[in-house]
Amino acid sequence: MNLDYRFRDPALAELALTHRSAGRPNNERMEFLGDALLGAMVGEMLFDAHPRASEGELSRLRAQLVNGQALALVARELELGEGLKLGSGELKSGGFRRDSILADAFEALVAAVYLDGGFDACRDVVRGLFAQRVADLPKSSKDAKTRLQEWLQARGLPLPIYELAGSHGEDHAKVFEVNCSIVEPVPLSAAASGPSRRAAEQDAAEIVLGQLTEPLPPA
């Protein structure tokens, strides 16, 4: 584990990396606490970094940093998967690579630091892990559909058209295919797919935005 923190009570770190499939005690309660701590601490960082952002914008920014996929990436950087305690079933199915398990373990680890060293120590660890991630966020926290709509509205142009081209896959893993098109200032269209119609629409809008050559208006 590559965490820049030395535990006074190593048992807390061990518990944080114990998945429920390994029996009890496990990290479920610590995961709950860590989730709350991360939300507050990352929220504070965003509050300081974006003094003019609205509540909704700050919430969208935080959602980009504190979600299962993003936290699993942090967990992989810390090499948490190598130290996970899993039941035999999860171990055989590669649970140590699964985003949800890694993200939960990271949240639990944040709680372990808090329980071991207090709020300030936990805050320092979170800030160390997320400072660059906060700095790397796009200047605009608005999603692609909103930015595309505002770009067109600012020029008095017709709004984009989104069409569902189709969907396939089982209900639990369905993929939606969407087309986004505009007629002015030049006809453009883009196709994208995603796990939901909304996600596909966002990706298609992002592609159309990238195809437009005029600068976007200020967010």
Residues classed as catalytic: 35, 107
Cis peptide before 25 (omega within 30 of 0): yes
CA 161 from centre of chain: 27
